[in-house]
Structure 1
Amino acid sequence: MWQFVQGSTFQVVGQFQLCGAPIDMTNWSITAQIHDATGKTLISNLSTSWIDSTTGTLQLNASSTSAWPVGKARIDVSARDPSGNQYVSMADYFRVIDTPLPV
């Protein structure tokens, strides 16, 4: 499980795939959120941007993370194709850790 330091700028690059294969996601919309490990409590909405929509490569960002709770969290991503069909990713879990530095 990867770790993220509370208070740091959150920036993650990934690839949305269907059935394990990258697809052209031109004109698709993406939404992403951080939840607690159970998926029931919203921690943050993320901003999303395509790095390369033809391969499904995207970037997720959050600038204000100082209030994120320490502990296990998850990223949830939802994609909607031009026809309106929705696809939800498997959750990607990570751990938010505390820092002794001022944030």
Structure 2
Amino acid sequence: MADVSLQQVMEALADPVRRLAVAQLASSAEDLSCGAFVMPVSRSTATHHFNVLREAGVIRQHYVGTTKMNALRAQELEARFPGLLPALLAATRREEGQTAEL
């Protein structure tokens, strides 16, 4: 995380699909497999989004057997950029609520 810049994280989180994935991880009590996410994109596009999040240090991916699992690096992000993740999640929830009302 020491090599991750704020620019990288912000660029990764600028995309609404990636914010959706982060929000799903944040609300889950456990790591999620790639197939467990509800995303409005194809599987190959979702893979691209996971790669961007991983390269920006937002998520960690690991295998359990043959299943690729995703974990939000919430503690590391909080230590590196205090308050960023909670602010992002709150804004995402507000944005989703506005979209639902339309």
Shared fold by TM > 0.5?
no
Return the structure number with greater strand share: 1
Higher relative contact order (CA 8 A, sep 6+): 1
Structure whose CA Rg is larger = 1
State the TM-score, normalized to the length of structure 2: 0.29
Tell me the TM-score normalized by structure 1.
0.29
